[in-house]
Chains A and B, each alone.
Chain A
Amino acid sequence: MSDGTKRRTVLAGGLSVGVGLAAAPARAEASTPKTDLLTLVVNGRRVRVDVDVRASLLDTLRDRLHLTGTKKGCDQGACGACTVLLDGRRVLSCLTLAVMHEGSEVTTVEGLADGDRLHPVQRAFADHDGFQCGFCTSGQIVSAVGLLAEHPDLTDAEIPELMSGNLCRCAAYGNIRAAIAAAARLSREGE
């Protein structure tokens, strides 16, 4: 009810700004920034946070919820470092506003391990040295977890193409592929 109304208001607001810009190039004067009380379920925990309506999901996770495992590599949806699972789907958290996701479930890299027990994909990345500097790793791992959930029968040959949305400038690509292939085998054998 009220949550839905809020979301629609924000969307409509966003739209009208766009129309306004098209009609008159003058930028709307800065007014007091709008904030919105948002509820998210992050890594299984329900959190309520007052967010700037301009804040991306990524910045909200990092700045407001102090979950800094998710990284900002480009802030324009080109590198994949900010990948999180949103209601189970892989999304680039830099490209979506937090306020658009009232009530959603978010899984970040911090939410994958079961206490001290690493998620099989995390374990595989560690054992196969699937990283160097580690800055893209959170995104790689969350992407891989999402990928395996979507494609339980993933073949090794499919991995390079399906993981190409996650850049690794250190280019640990071979090891990333080996890690995901190992985790895929493990999850198939586990079934």
Chain B
Amino acid sequence: MAIGRPLNRVEAREKVTGAARYTADARLPGMVYAALVGSAVSAGRVRAIDTTRAEAAPGVLAVLTHLNRPQWHGTPDALRYQETRFPLADEHIHHHGQYLAMVVAGTREQAAHAADLVAVDYETRPAVPTLDAALPDAHQPVWRFEPEFPTLLAIGDPEAMLAAADVRIEREYRTPYYSHAPMEPHATLAHWAGGSLTVYTTSQHVHGDRPVIAGALGVPPDRVRVISSLVGGAFGNKTAVWGPTLLAAVAARQVGRPVQLVVTRKQVFTCHGHQPPILQRLRVGANRDGTLQAIVHHTVNGTPVLFDRPEGAISPTGTVYALRSVGVRVEVARMHMPTPATMRTPGDGPGMFAVGSALDELSYELGIDPVELRRRNHLAAHPLERKPWSGKQLLECYDEGARRFGWERRAPRPRMMRDGGDWVGFGMSSAQRLEHHGPARAVVEIRDDGTAEVRTSTQEIGTGNLTTLTQVAAGGTGIEPDRIGFRSGDTTLPESSPTYGSRTTGSTGTAVHLAALRARQVAARLAIADARSPLHGLPEERIGAAHGRLYDVDAPRRGETYRELLRRNGRRSIVEQGFHDLAGRDPRFSYATFGAHFTEVRIDDTLRRVRVTRHVGVFAVGRVLNPKTARNQAQGGIVYALGGALMEELTADPVTGRFIAPALTDYHVPVNADVGEIDVSFVEEPDYGAHPLGAKGLGEVVAVGVHASIANAVYHAIGIRVRDLPITPDKLVAGPR
């Protein structure tokens, strides 16, 4: 059985030899290079822009600004474009770094040099630089498109329940500007031929990008091909088309050559998404026995000046713990910030930091162990959908995690555990992520040489999906994974689900699974109908498949290979489609993935630097397709959130709002030495109600709850509760709070 085996990644060889081709590695004859000029101010307008020196510089083919750009087609809203204005739309400046000009030249060096020669005369206006400065503007958001979550909601009577509760806590939590910071900067290579456009671009959803690109350029979508097969990390900031992709496409049309545009690292930080600062006010009421009576959760996040973009930090509030009443209010406040983008893990990441921290604070108020407090508030059904959860092994995750971690050694109060100069602390949190899914299509082809091929538009962003989907196809067809090829990342292929929001396993996985089963079924029927087949006349349910061979399950030696069957019948191949239908789920249940985190921190008493020395994560994600890639992804998600908990922050200048140091030298993502021992395991029980494969998403849930688990461990170690991330040493120098 291929599913569940710890196979090496199918693209491992390409990745370790440097043969793997990412977007910026694509080369076309006659290709030229583009570079962008960003605004030095956060608010105002371009009074004048002088491109004469840039245009005169050696090798320069074109300089585009708002004054001479080609006309855009369609509208950002109609095309559901990420921003409300297309690049170089007009002279107005709404955030620092906003692209004001693009230079196209014969070489990379010529383009970069000429971009430096573009002179901008700014009319600068005062900026709203920080969330605190924006707070007076806090308002109920207007959704640009359909609402994604409730922004004002009360279940029960939370105010009355709070007032009546035995114990109340009221706290404010904050998360800063976070950057996705994938290793691969955004890149596009655009090429026109005969009125058709091919765009190689760093994308988490090629079929989603195509209508946006086609619409903005005024080209029929079937004349646009988008290619993105290997993506060098994304974490959400390649979920949508960004301006440079459109600019590369118009530039390629204008200069009549393929144009490559790779943004700089600084531009990745400033113009390709981030998670905005979020302030969360949480009021929690509970009775002495620990039963939660009410949570009232009020959030305000920074939003760009041009449109409202609420963050869903309220996501865990009403859906993780059993509550008698819930109140949520989501607001946004306008700042001169670049456009944010969905970031791992949207809503639940910051939301569970607040809720998971508040539960911990409550546990000390009540004198109840944090794990026990969560057990007492275990939630069996989705409170809004009013349906029982499917596949909720959260209690087992608590048990297994506590056992693996050694939770019973935890001292009941803070500042009770020392090891030499280190304070030692234990913390924990729950993890939960609703299991989203979407339509997905795939094709599986079984060929007369005994091989097979999977075709779907998904891209490998690092999750291991080419490998796990190959295993799914192997499971369905009975052909060994090393005999299965994969074509992906291209709009000429059937549309997969996007590679964000933990959708690949459930949605695209189901499509591949169904396609593989159908291809095998067609082959089986061919054998049954074929008088020369050893399987002739057998009932269909008696035919199994393994090792590239169909066989009689009651007499396994009786059978034949796909190769023999197809060749004898003169069939080159069998090609079948699979479609993941949203109606395919068992409607009686609600679906999510679950987990528990346990963290040990050590804090040097003098330096007050927090080290996560041990972390245990246990997850319930249904069936695990490949334990090797799954464990890797889970460890990665934990470290991703660890960065946000302890070190990551894009610092904004308090006057202009500009990011002070948009560089990896100052935006500290975790390095190898920051990472201690991370123990990942799974409570594995297939969830067939969710998907026919029984497997659910993984990439998001593993990162949910880590911030709280670490912050709770820090409090336990040293008695200081940090409610504004990241937990840097300066916040730990005071005495206990």
Contact = CB atoms under 8 A, between A and B. Distances in A.
A113 B632 CA distance: 25
Contact of B235 (A59, A68, A169, A177): A169
Interface in A27-58: 27, 30-33, 52, 54-55
B16 A126 contact: yes
A122 interface: yes
Nearest to A73: B183
B11 A109 contact: no
Nearest to B232: A135
B113 A54 contact: yes
25 contacts: A30-B58, A33-B113, A54-B113, A63-B108, A68-B18, A69-B20, A71-B184, A75-B265, A81-B183, A108-B18, A109-B17, A109-B18, A118-B17, A131-B15, A132-B463, A133-B183, A133-B233, A159-B672, A160-B675, A163-B673, A167-B664, A169-B182, A169-B640, A170-B632, A171-B635
Interface in B97-114: 107-110, 113-114
A138 B17 CA distance: 7
Which has the most chain B C-beta neighbours within 10 Å: A33, A81, A135? Answer: A135
B667 to A, nearest CB: 9
Contacts of A10: none
A108 B674 CA distance: 27
Nearest to B234: A133
Nearest to B467: A129
A135 B9 contact: no
Contact of B635 (A113, A141, A174): A174
Interface stretch (B21-29, B78-86, B314-322): B21-29
Contacts of B114: 30
Contacts of B325: none
Given A118-B13, A159-B672, A54 B462 contact: no
B678 interface: yes
A68 B21 contact: yes
Given A63-B108, A135-B183, A138-B18, A167 B673 contact: no
Given A133-B183, A136-B183, A167 B117 contact: no
Interface string B665-685: 100011111110010000000
A167 B18 contact: no
B19 interface: yes
A163 B298 CA distance: 42
B672 A134 contact: no
A173 B639 contact: yes
Contact of A126 (B8, B18, B117, B670): B8
Question: Among A59, A133, A174, which residue has the most Cβ atoms of chain B within 10 A?
Answer: A133
Interface in B471-512: none
Most buried by A among B262, B628, B632: B632
B185 A132 contact: no
Contact of A134 (B20, B116, B663, B673): B20
B151 interface: no
A71 B9 contact: no
A8 B30 CA distance: 33
Interface residues on B, range: 35 or more
B230 interface: yes
Contacts of B57: 30
A72 B673 contact: no
B529 interface: no
B599 to A, nearest CB: 15
A9 interface: no
Contact of B109 (A55, A164, A171, A172): A55
A67 interface: yes
Interface of A: 27, 30-33, 52, 54-55, 59, 62-63, 66-76, 78-79, 81, 108-110, 112-113, 118, 122-123, 125-127, 129, 131-138, 141, 159-161, 163-177
Given A68-B21, A71-B22, A170 B636 contact: yes
B18 A169 contact: no
- Of the candidates A30, A113, A165, the one having the most CB atoms from chain B within 10 angstroms of its own CB is A30
A176 B18 contact: no
A126 B13 contact: yes
A132 B633 contact: yes
A74 B633 CA distance: 23
A98 B20 CA distance: 24
Contact of A133 (B14, B108, B265, B462): B462
Contacts of A76: 265, 663-665
B223 interface: no
Interface string B180-211: 01111100000000000000000000000000
A177 B677 CA distance: 11
A169 B183 contact: yes
B566 interface: no
Contacts of A68: 18, 21-22, 24-25, 27
B254 interface: no
A129 B109 CA distance: 36
B304 interface: no
B595 to A, nearest CB: 17
B12 A126 contact: yes
A35 B38 CA distance: 28
Contacts of A136: 183, 232
Contacts of A133: 182-184, 230-234, 460-462
